[in-house]
Amino acid sequence: MPPRSKLVMSLEKTSVPNSTHIIKDKVVISDDWTVLRLNEGETPEGVAVPEGKIIVPLKVWQAQRGNLQGRQDLGVWFASDERPEALKDDLAPFKVIAVDFPKFADGRGYSIAYNLRKRLGYQGELRAIGDVLRDQLFQMVRCGFNAYATRQDRNIHDALKGLTVFSETYQASVDNPLPLFRRHERGALPELSDVGAGI
In this structure, are residues 56 and 36 in contact, taking their beta carbons and an 8 Å threshold? Answer: yes
Across 10-154, the runs of DSSP E, i.e. the strands, are 21-24, 27-30, 34-35, 54-57, 74-78, 96-101, 125-130, 147-148
- Of 42-81, which residues contact another protein (CB under 8 A)? none
| Residue with smaller CB distance to another protein, 63 or 172 | 172
| Residue with smaller CB distance to another protein, 110 or 148 | 110
Minimum distance from residue 61 beta carbon to another protein (Å) = 20
| Residue with smaller CB distance to another protein, 51 or 185 | 185
Minimum distance from residue 37 beta carbon to another protein (Å) = 20
6 touching another protein, by CB under 8 A: yes
Q: Listing from the earlier edge strand, what are the strands of the sheet with 96-101?
A: 27-30, 21-24, 147-148, 125-130, 96-101, 74-78, 54-57, 34-35
Whole-angstrom distance, CA of residue 22 vs CA of residue 19: 7
**β-bridge mates for residue 56, sequence order:** 76
| Residue with smaller CB distance to another protein, 64 or 169 | 169
Of 49, 91, 54, 45, the C-alpha closest to 72 is: 54
| Residue with smaller CB distance to another protein, 61 or 110 | 110
- Of 88-147, which residues contact another protein (CB under 8 A)? 104-108, 110-112, 114, 118-119, 133, 135-136, 138-140, 142-143
Residues at the contact surface with another protein, assessed by CB under 8 A: 2-7, 12, 83, 104-108, 110-112, 114, 118-119, 133, 135-136, 138-140, 142-143, 158, 165-173, 177-182, 184, 186-190, 193, 195-196, 199
